[in-house]
Amino acid sequence: MTDASQPVDPTLALSESGRKTKRLSIQIQILLIVLLLVVAAAGALGFLFWKKTKALDETEKGLAFSQFVTDINSTTDFVVPQVNTIQFLRRGYSINFDTVRYTQEGLFLSGTLGNGTELYLNSLAVNFVARPYPYKIKEKWEKETIPWWSDDWNIGSGQTNVGTLGPGTSVPFSVTIPNVKQTSDSMEIAVSFSGERYSYLK
């Protein structure tokens, strides 16, 4: 007895093929949706990571700038151009302006320099540098990223020779700082000594 093969119904075969194709299409769609979800999740995580990194970078820059300003303030004497106000410098010295005048040449300052120490200062020159406040040059500093103040950021500078400044005494001075104009922008004046020789009161 021989087995006779059953004839294949073309309609049934076509229907089965359609079901397989439909199943495959659904699986591909599910795979694409899962893939899109994975890509979207990875993109969201990447964006969050980038945002957090940027925030940390900004915080780090802010801290570095704050440290820069703190270092400047701890090592530099500053005065404001204000008359009849005794302004104390580090190490026991003081400045009192009796004239603050803006001229065509710049900012004219005159007053007295006081010595509250027991030291004699000879060959003393006093340097005045007009500067913008640090927050005004923050963008420039971020481009330079240097740990010190650049002379390029100064508005102007002037020097006056005082000569001898004895202990417990004061001497008059006058100086003009060029390029300084009277504007609404506030500034500070850095004061430093140069060329001086010290000797103790005997």
- Structural tokens at position 178: 């060029």
Judge residue 107's burial from the number of C-beta atoms within 10 Å of its C-beta, 0-12 exposed, 13-18 middle, 19 or more buried: buried
pLDDT tens column, 105-156: 999 999 999 999 999 999 999 999 999 999 899 988 888 877 788 999 999 9
pLDDT bracket for residue 157 (50, 70, 90)? very high
| pLDDT digit string, tens, across residues 66-101 | 998 999 999 999 999 999 999 999 899 999 999 999
Query: What is the CA angle 87-89-93, rounded to 5?
Result: 95
Phi, psi of 172 (to 5 degrees): -80, 155
Run of H or E residues at 19: helix 10-75
